[in-house]
Structure 1
Amino acid sequence: MLKRMLTMTSVFLATLSLALPVNSHEHGMMKGDIVDVAASNGSFNTLVAAIKAADLVGTLKGEGPFTVFAPTDDAFAKLPKGTVESLLLPENKDKLIAILTYHVVPGKVMAQDVVKLDKATTVNGQDVLITTEDDRVMVNNATVTSVDVKAKNGVIHVIDTVLMPK
């Protein structure tokens, strides 16, 4: 068990050293909440639009703490054509909420704690799997590209793929 933890820690630290930050200001303590930090970053415009369409702004501006596995605009662009536009329609709000809450874990789980997990239960009730492959940390099929983007009510870990609940 100790050997596995040391291996996972080494892999995760290697990922941290190789990961390029989305914006250089993200690694210090941010005064804003999760939504403010994401909105000010410039790489999460689609995510912020989806949060607004799902009426989750108030929740993610709340006390928390929250851990958000945040897909970038490029991650949303990987979805089949028309998917994002369809999800943003009012009649698909429940599906959008299910997808977005699948990216949020209650509590503040910093990078150093992620390596100790095999899975995490999301706000929507389903688990995401946390694994290491080579020198990468994965959440389901998404690669973590940047970690510990701090907000006053939690932390954001940047991922390169939108997570889809079952």
Structure 2
Amino acid sequence: MLITLKAVTNENYEPICLLDVSNEQEDYVASNTWSLVEAAYNENYTVRAIYCEDEPVGFFMWVQESPIKISIWRFMIDQRHQNKGIGREALSLALTEIKQTQSITEIGICYNPNNPVAKDFYFSFGFIEIGMDEDNEDMLALIHLKEE
């Protein structure tokens, strides 16, 4: 099972927009369509389609918030493709790509603290919880990269 990240283009944006999570997960992630609109009209937003072989199965969006920090704002795997290890491989690929950005020393992510799987999943990649966001809705977690 080959997992890759690809740019979202005019050739593949429609199937990316059709990907969806389960009803129980809808409160945890924005729609891919909305995320693509956000990225089109804001600087420093990067979007990637997650592919399993030749099929789009998920989506990422990350934002360079400062010269030293990139935050993953969106990460989803379509409900038909969850629990297959795709998310783990895709996040590993995304982190590798993000780490190539010059001057980055922090990678952030936020998630709903009521999401039972998120904390352990992100912790396994090195994310450490730093507290709730300013709205007290989402848990913030960071990876601190070593300066070279």
Structure 2 length normalisation: TM-score?
A: 0.31
Give the structure with the higher percent helix.
Answer: 1
Give the structure with the higher percent strand.
Answer: 2
Higher relative contact order (CA 8 A, sep 6+): 1
Structure 1 length normalisation: TM-score?
A: 0.29
